[in-house]
């Protein structure tokens, strides 16, 4: 029996919002981000959401995207719909950003 190890790339981004970010702005950002999988073929799985508030000091929001490989990540990163979401919706709200990409087996 041949064992096949599937490897994909996971992209995780966490945000802290500026103090003036409203719930309405977060809802608009969520709607914009949730529309991306239908526009970007490289996305295999996509989750976004606000922190549940279970521990102090957590980040405000997270995006978790699973992509086939490094090329898929580049397609997602550079896609015009993703870039528009960053520039027009997210950037005005962001106080801090942290990101990591890692391979998942």
Q: Which is more confidently placed, 93 or 105?
A: 93
Please check whether residue 64 lies inside any domain of the structure.
Answer: yes
Q: What are 26's two structure tokens?
A: 């977060």
Would residue 89 count as lying in a domain? yes
The residue range of the domain holding 38 is 8-104
- Please give the average per-residue pLDDT across 79-83, as a whole number: 98
In a domain, 19, yes or no: yes
pTM (2 decimals)?
0.92
> How do residues 31-78 score in pLDDT, each as one tens digit?
999 999 999 999 999 999 999 999 999 999 999 999 999 999 999 999
Q: What is the pLDDT of residue 1?
A: 62
**Is 2 within the bounds of a domain?**
no
Distances (CA, A) of 76 to 1, 24, 53, 58: 35, 25, 29, 26
Residue 1 lies inside a defined structural domain of this protein: no
Rounded to whole angstroms, the Cα distance separating 20 from 31 reads: 19
Q: What is the pLDDT of residue 4?
A: 63
Over residues 11-19, the mean pLDDT reads: 98
CATH number for 80? 3.30.70.100
Overall domain count for the chain: 1
Q: In degrees rounded to 5, what are phi and psi of residue 63?
A: -125, 130
């Amino acid at each position: 029996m041949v064992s096949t190890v599937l490897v994909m790339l996971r992209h995780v981004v966490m945000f802290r919002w500026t103090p003036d970010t409203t719930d309405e702005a977060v809802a608009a950002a969520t709607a914009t981000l949730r529309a991306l999988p239908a526009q970007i073929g490289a996305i295999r799985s996509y989750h976004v959401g606000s922190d549940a508030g279970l521990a102090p000091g957590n980040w405000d929001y997270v995006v978790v995207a699973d992509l086939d490989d490094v090329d898929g990540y580049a397609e997602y990163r550079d896609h015009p719909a993703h870039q528009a979401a960053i520039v027009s919706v997210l950037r005005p709200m962001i106080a801090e950003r942290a990101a990591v990409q890692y391979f998942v087996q």
